[in-house]
Structure 1
């Protein structure tokens, strides 16, 4: 196994572990389920939330996946864009959505809120797309990657639907609906990235 392949695998594992761990750490640390993962920015877990998202961004920037001859959209392009959107999510918090009690870092700016939400959707979509159209070209576990890739998209679609339902009706689909949709998507792509970072028994090639 050469050093480059080892680095690819290590970065994949880091991305996978971050995706799996983030919702769990936020729930344990805060002791409650918020409306969405982004609202943990306004809790005692703010530093953890921001730190993990910045880590996502930096790791995805650093990651350089294999480039295949003739491909129009490379894995590197998708992960670099995903890193950009992860940093936007981290550095531009969501709209608070409640009366502000003079907390200096809270905002109720709708435009910034929509930018944050859009970046969050694109971050999850792009990392899921890597699983769906890039990891499925690997020599092993193609069916697993295809399944997990569609699970990311399903979780993302549910999240968007639950968010829009709340916007239209004023009531949540159920308590924590957006949070659970996001968590499902994060766990699916986290498992896929973690699996991609572990060498298959029959091969040590990426």
Structure 2
């Protein structure tokens, strides 16, 4: 009777793939969980943005998901020093935007304003670094099959376009009754999730069966 042995490198790679897929699932699921969960648990109107769900009964879901994403990104090991720095910056951005909530709609204090500025700063850093991963790191690291580079670039462009449209809609106060920031943020997070899910299925080192 032959006993199967587990190659430590195989186990490590499979764990790494699982983490990539897990972060992708978080990205895809988070908008659905926040929007639908709040309607089921609390009811009422939609929040103005994903960040505004901090002030609903889904606060712990938002904070927990972003902290989980941040920890993964801090632990992510890229292909060179710049990639490692980018993933660390993205991880700090994710944790920072979770720990410093956006400015509430009413009863605003001086600390609320400070926290809101920090939240926007961390959010911008987080999403810009995610766009960097999609546009620079993933398409050029040599791991993915032919064709997936297009997926990464589309996701990266989608993130950048959403950031620009969020800034414009906020500055010009366009269609506030349609909650543009909420839907644009959701699209950006979905793009992030898709990129990481695809990446989670492409790492196939030759040394690993």
Q: Give the structure-2-normalised TM-score.
A: 0.82
2:78 counterpart residue number = 65
- Structure 2 vs 1, CA of residues 155 and 193 (structure 1 numbering), >3 Å: closer, same or farther? same
Of 144, 161, 167 in structure 1, the residue corresponding to residue 151 of structure 2 is: 144
Taking the aligned partners of 2:200 and 2:21, their CA distance within structure 1 comes to 5
Aligned equivalent of 2:23, options 1, 4, 15: 15
- Equivalent residue number for residue 168 of structure 2: 161
Between 81-90 and 134-143, report the one with greater CA deviation.
134-143
Number of aligned residue pairs: give it.
189
Answer whether contact 1:165 1:172 (CA < 8 A) is retained: no
| Structure 2 unaligned regions, length at least 5 | 1-8, 40-44
Instruction: Look up the match of 1:43.
Output: 56
TM-score by length of 1: 0.83
2:28 and 2:65 map into 1 onto residues whose CA distance is 11
Shift of 1:38: 0.7
State the alpha-carbon separation in 2 of the partners of residues 3 and 146 from structure 1: 30
SS in 2 for 1:2: helix
- Structure 1 residue runs without a partner (length 5+): 68-72, 101-105
Equivalents in 2 of 1:177, 1:66: separation in Å?
Answer: 36
- Flag the structure with larger Rg: 2
Shift of 1:33: 2.4
Deviations 1:162-206 (A, max 9, x none): 22223xxxx644421001111111111110110000137xxx239
